[in-house]
Chains A and B, each alone.
Chain A
Amino acid sequence: MSDLPQYLYIIAIVLFALSLRWMGEVKSARRGNWAAALGMVLAIIGTLIAYQVQRTDLLIAGVVVGTIIGLPIGLKVRMTGVPQRTAASHAFGSLAVALVGTAEFYQRAPAIDIFAVSVLSAEMILGYLTFTGSCIAFAKLQGLIPGRPFVYRGRNFVNLSVLGVAIVLGIFLVIDPGQGFVLPIMAGFALLFGFVLVMAIGGADMPTVIAILNSYAGISAAALGFVLNNRVLIVAGALDGSSGFILAVIMSQAMNRSFVNVLFGGVGAVVSAGSPGSAQTGRTVQAYTVDDVATVLEGAKSVIIVPGYGMAVAQAQHVVKELADVLEKSDIDVKYAIHPVAGRMPGHMNVLLAEAQVPYDQLLEMDRINPLFPETDVAIVVGANDVTNPAARTKPDSPLYGMPILDVDKAKTVVFVKRSMNPGFSGVDNELFYLPNTMMVFGDAKKVLGELLAALKRR
């Protein structure tokens, strides 16, 4: 009977692994989610059997408060708000591990062994920096603070110095765990580092940042597992850490950033370095009306819609879906091209379109959709920009050069819906605008598509 918690832990670990397996495809994904939830319950039951918690009043209070806060978040957050929710949950999760680490240190100091205090110091630094980093990511995504990167000369030196001080203080704690007063100072520097690190990163790079913070939160949870000698923590933390790591790599590859660049978190520097010199060139573009577009669509057999985050900002996903329905009724084949960094977090665009009831088998990722563009009659770009810029393929001097893009320009006709001629976040002019097969339609995405819909219905 005394082994029961161990077996519950093993079942929980198997369920966690299975849940990731089932998350692999849509048809089993919901099962995966509930498998993980069951695993969580078993892990908690196992722990409660193995360890006699005396203050059940505080435990229950914590769970009740957590449910009162967590349930409305889970039920109410809009799909456009999921990236913010994710950043907030990274903040909560990393603060939780950092606080447990802090508590465990004070619990065992000064007689704490060198291994435990070393891991705890690292875990606390990682946890606290992830906390403030995630808070800033949340604030940027929510629009509470400007999304543009806060950069100045020598910021990398300052930032690394802050981290360096935190690490030195951590080492000091390892050498003399009796000096407990050092811990809050170390935590303060770690908090400051997370703050300055993410402040320096632009809002458009948030998909990568969120994935990195996800990884950090997982790794710090696993570290805690080492200190407490708790395997379910180690495994869950490792799964979370590796998942965030892979997503960060995918995001960085999709933006053509080096891997070191990702791990260091220095994203945003590339963007600010690239903007000058590629300003407006004085070239003019041809603006078309909604009726022109309707005429072209009438003669089309196949259409690919290329959505970007601008579509979600304009709340245009439902109009896009209506437009697709109308086109499909006229026997036009409709597909969606999803760039890996479309949206504000990995996979975000798929969720936004799924919410608008777009069937998921119409959502094609970059590698699958790109070969289809040459045989497509019309590509409609809504709220995307840099990820369609052919300069990424053709102009070695462009800051975008080398970034994998959607080959929109290869479609017979490109309809580009755009609010104004302002360049994308990279500050680079889009070559696509000046191609002879491109029709620029200016205006708010929702309004333009609504008018297009009306024009099509009139015919």
Chain B
Amino acid sequence: MADAVQTDLAVNLLIFLMATFLGLELVRHVSRLLHTPLMSLTNAISSVSFVAALIVMVDPKNDLILFLVTIAVGLAATNIVSGFVITDRILRMFKRDRPKK
């Protein structure tokens, strides 16, 4: 059992580092024009903590724990909904065409 946990940690660390490198590379190439929607997008993505709340919600030991994760579910859901909706709204405003006379 202890071995299994160790292996997971190493794999998880590797995944974390690779994802960080990938993120750094990808974000470096994002146009400065789009840094605001980028931030609202990554914020929505990090609300995947919703998933974490679900996992802890499976078998809560007492009502306090259930209460805490229920609040977390609400907070994360708020971020997911508002995050993707507002990012799209911001992006819809970026237009290239100008009325040419």
The interface of chain A, by Cβ under 8 A from chain B, is 12-13, 16-17, 19-21, 23-26, 29-30, 32-34, 36-37, 39-40, 43-44, 47-48, 51-55, 58-59, 61-63, 65-67, 69-71, 73-75, 77, 79, 82, 85-86, 89-90, 92-93, 95-97, 99-100, 102-104, 106-107, 113, 115, 210-211, 214, 217-218, 221-222, 224-226, 228-247, 250, 325, 328-329, 338, 340, 345-348, 350-351, 354-355, 357, 359-363, 365
Contact = CB atoms under 8 A, between A and B. Distances in A.
A29 B94 contact: yes
Contact of B65 (A26, A90, A107): A107
Given A52-B58, A237-B49, A250-B32, 16 more contacts: A12-B48, A23-B38, A29-B34, A33-B41, A33-B84, A40-B80, A44-B51, A65-B74, A70-B80, A73-B86, A74-B83, A89-B83, A96-B76, A103-B72, A224-B52, A350-B33
B96 A361 contact: yes
B93 A354 contact: yes
Contacts, number: 369
Residue among B20, B23, B27, B85 with max Cβ neighbours from chain A (10 Å): B23
A51 B54 contact: yes
Rank and list the top 4 A-B pairs by shortest CB-CB distance, nearest first. Answer: A66-B77, A74-B85, A347-B35, A70-B81
A102 to B, nearest CB: 6
Given A40-B45, A92-B78, A33 B39 contact: no
Residue among B38, B46, B50, B66 with max Cβ neighbours from chain A (10 Å): B46
A106 B65 contact: yes
Contact of B23 (A95, A238, A357): A238
Interface residues of B, number: 85
Nearest to B92: A30
A187 to B, nearest CB: 11
A107 B33 CA distance: 44
A228 B16 CA distance: 14
B82 A85 contact: yes
B3 interface: no
Contacts of A217: 43, 46
17 contacts: A26-B94, A33-B87, A47-B54, A47-B55, A55-B70, A70-B77, A71-B82, A82-B36, A93-B76, A99-B68, A106-B62, A107-B65, A113-B5, A237-B49, A346-B36, A350-B32, A357-B93
A62 B70 contact: yes
A52 B43 CA distance: 27
Contacts of B54: 44, 47-48, 51, 53, 59
Given A48-B54, A93-B49, A242-B27, A66 B93 contact: no
Residue among B38, B42, B65 with max Cβ neighbours from chain A (10 Å): B42
Interface of B: 5, 8-9, 12, 15-16, 19-24, 26-62, 64-66, 68-99, 101
Given A33-B91, A221-B49, A246-B27, A234 B37 contact: no
Residue among B35, B53, B69, B84 with max Cβ neighbours from chain A (10 Å): B35
A77 B87 CA distance: 11
Contact of A26 (B27, B31, B62, B77): B31
Contacts of B36: 82, 86, 345-348, 350-351
Contact of A233 (B22, B23, B39, B51): B51
A328 B99 CA distance: 10
Residue among B15, B28, B45 with max Cβ neighbours from chain A (10 Å): B45
A226 B9 contact: yes
Given A53-B54, A106-B61, A19 B49 contact: no
Contacts of A51: 54-55, 58
A245 B98 CA distance: 35
Contact of B57 (A13, A53, A232, A247): A53
A218 B46 contact: yes
A65 B34 contact: no
A441 to B, nearest CB: 26
